[in-house]
Amino acid sequence: MKKILVLLSLCAFAFGASECDRKIDRINKEISFSKAHNDTARTLSLELALKQVQNDCAKDPMFYDKKLEAKKLKEQEVEKIEKELDALKEQKDYMSKAEYKAKKEALKEQKEKIKKEIKEYIDNL
């Protein structure tokens, strides 16, 4: 019975934890590991990173969740454009070289623009 209770508690924690909590937990585990291996430089670096994460999370508890969501959006948009590029390759034989090249370049520019916009969004969080 105790095992089930512990398991349910862990599941609830896993589903209820924010990205901030997960990030802090990962850094704390890395700090413990670096201390166990007497890696003081790494420990100091991780402690600074932990303070930064805690500061970011104190300002906005959903800070890293927003970053993660923005990354997912970027990946979805990039996948969509890559599918369009694949479809364009299949239609290559049915259009002129100039038309194919123009459409291909337009899609690549759109892809780069989306990557840049999302990167700027993530950086400004």
Q: Where are the domains of the chain?
A: 18-61, 64-125
pLDDT score, position 1: 40
Q: What angle do CA 115, 116, 120 make, to 5 degrees?
A: 120
**42: how many CB neighbours lie within 10 A of its CB?**
15
pLDDT score at 16: 58
| Lookup: tokens for 89 | 């390759």
Neighbours of 28 (CB within 10 A): 13
Tens digit of each residue's pLDDT (9 = 90 or more) over 51-90:
999 998 999 889 888 888 888 988 899 999 999 999 999 9
CA atoms within 13 A on the CB side of 47: 9
Q: Which residue has the higher pLDDT, 66 or 38?
A: 38
Amino acid in position 14: A
What's the length of the chain?
125
Each residue of 81-115: pLDDT tens digit? 999 999 999 998 898 999 999 999 999 999 999 88
What local confidence, expressed as pLDDT, does residue 9 receive? 42
d(Cα 112, Cα 70) in Å, to the nearest integer?
15
Distances (CA, A) of 68 to 23, 41, 121: 12, 28, 11
